């Protein structure tokens, strides 16, 4: 079983929809939870990170972490065609620079 | 502020050859990590360098190696290339150790082994 599980999709939604992306994990040592966006043939771009449990909001993006359930989510409000990309969750334990990634969810937002 | 740069962007090599990839981190960043991305395995951690020393290593064979220079620039080397080494190799930099949550990636080097 992988340390981080993420449904690869693809996920197709109409423009303006609320998108929910999720990951589960098994390692309770993880304290940092990141979301990256990767466009085709580009490197991953850091969207936001959360430390431990709780919510964090940045514009149209909201990240949630539930450590008791080992479950993290990224919500995208008012989705745009430009949001079409692969979204990767990543996690790390304190003191380590090693990121453990989910498989990535491919999102398509159609006009 | 310039981002992470990687050279070359594309590379085609033959089985058995070796290859060296280069990474220049964001100015002021002292930690450099390398990852391999393939369709089947996703993004996997190769190794991390900080202060010219390898600090952490992923589960890859010894054919994969790296080094870091005093200016924080890093190189990774793959010897005796195999077809399965075809992948996007990504470099990420952060300020220091314990800053995994603020790692910034370069555009990657796409390696094709024939």
B-chain residues near A34 (CB < 8 A): 101
Give the nearest partner residue to B101 out of A49, A100, A103, using CB atoms: A49
pLDDT of residue B1: 67
CA distances from A45 to A70, B67, B106 (A): 24, 24, 9
Whole-angstrom distance, CA of residue B91 vs CA of residue B106 = 6
pLDDT of residue A95: 76
Q: Which two tokens stand for residue B5?
A: 């740069």
* Residue B55 to residue A103, Cβ atoms within 8 A: no
What percent of chain B shows pLDDT beyond 90?
Answer: 91
* Mean of per-residue pLDDT scores for chain B: 95
CB contacts < 8 A (A, B): 67
Tens digit of pLDDT per residue, chain A (111 long)?
A: 789 999 888 999 999 999 999 999 999 999 999 999 999 989 999 999 999 888 999 999 999 999 999 999 999 999 999 999 999 999 998 877 899 999 999 999 999
What's the rounded mean pLDDT across residues B66-72? 97
* Residue A36 to residue B101, Cβ atoms within 8 A: no
* Residue B90 to residue A43, Cβ atoms within 8 A: yes
* Residue B48 to residue A88, Cβ atoms within 8 A: no
pLDDT of residue B100: 83
């Amino acid at each position: 079983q992988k340390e981080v599980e993420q449904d690869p999709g693809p996920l197709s939604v109409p423009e303006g929809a609320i998108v929910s992306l999720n990951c589960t994990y098994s390692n309770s040592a993880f304290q940092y939870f990141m979301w990256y966006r990767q466009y085709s043939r580009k490197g991953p771009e850091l969207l936001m990170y959360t430390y431990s449990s709780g919510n964090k909001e940045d514009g149209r993006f909201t990240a949630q972490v539930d450590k008791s359930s080992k479950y993290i989510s990224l919500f995208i409000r008012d989705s745009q065609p430009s949001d079409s990309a692969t979204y990767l969750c990543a996690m790390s334990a304190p003191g380590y620079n090693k990121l453990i990634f989910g498989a990535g969810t491919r999102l398509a937002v159609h006009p | 502020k310039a981002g992470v740069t990687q050279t070359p962007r594309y590379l085609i090599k033959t089985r058995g050859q070796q290859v060296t990839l280069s990474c220049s981190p964001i100015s002021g960043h002292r930690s450099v990590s390398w990852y391999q991305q393939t369709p089947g395995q996703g993004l996997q951690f190769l190794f991390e360098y900080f202060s010219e020393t390898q600090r952490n290593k992923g589960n890859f064979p010894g054919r994969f190696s790296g080094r870091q220079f005093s200016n924080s620039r890093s190189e990774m080397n793959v010897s005796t290339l195999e077809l399965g080494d075809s992948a996007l190799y990504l470099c990420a930099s952060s300020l220091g150790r314990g800053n995994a949550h603020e790692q910034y990636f370069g555009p990657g080097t796409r390696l094709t082994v024939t």
